[in-house]
A and B are shown apart, each in its own frame.
Chain A
């Protein structure tokens, strides 16, 4: 597609359920990032992939959060045993590794997760 695609756009989960959020980056983009945006706040970094390698997961808030990108394209963010504090918008961004395009991240519209 032309941009970063995320699905679902909205997800309602009962506390304790597992959820999986999908991100389709722009074709050919090497780098992929996940961010968490709480209501009224700026996005906060969760994790970073370069191709299929997860090079930084320092932002994941607990071991209930897990991300993968097995073929270096589509990525999935999984949250196990969801808690109310997990309610937020989850943003995915991708970027093309080149000198000219360096540092520009393109964002998807996000998945709004509500945990009841």
Chain B
């Protein structure tokens, strides 16, 4: 079945460090790929997405490129801030006659130290 494998955490970085969170997927079709973020005490929020190979999603300084050849969608940010501390989830959708249920990875907890 479809699945997402995410870099295990927790990850702790200093402010202004470079961030990479790895994500790879297994899917029977052509998925759309997503990164969701969960800030403390809040619901999941869409961070960025890409719907086809070689697309790059970007938002709030974060980027991820849909790599079909390596089945990956790694999240990157050049200079992290304390406010980026959260749990990050990689996810995919295989569109199935309108049922676009998300399949999530296990999440990566990120802590940024001032």
Interface residues of A (CB under 8 A from B): 3-4, 31, 33, 35, 40-45, 48, 50, 55-56, 59, 91, 93, 95, 97, 102-110
Contact = CB atoms under 8 A, between A and B. Distances in A.
Contacts of B105: 42
Contact of B89 (A42, A106, A108): A42
Interface in B19-42: 32, 34, 36, 41-42
Contacts of B77: none
Given A41-B107, A43-B44, A108-B43, A48 B93 contact: no
Contacts of B99: 48, 50, 55-56
Interface residues of B, number: 27
Contacts of A56: 99, 101
A44 B104 CA distance: 7
Interface of B: 4, 6, 32, 34, 36, 41-46, 49, 51, 89, 91, 93, 95, 98-107
5 contacts: A35-B102, A42-B104, A43-B44, A91-B44, A105-B102
A104 B102 CA distance: 10
Nearest to A110: B43
B55 to A, nearest CB: 13
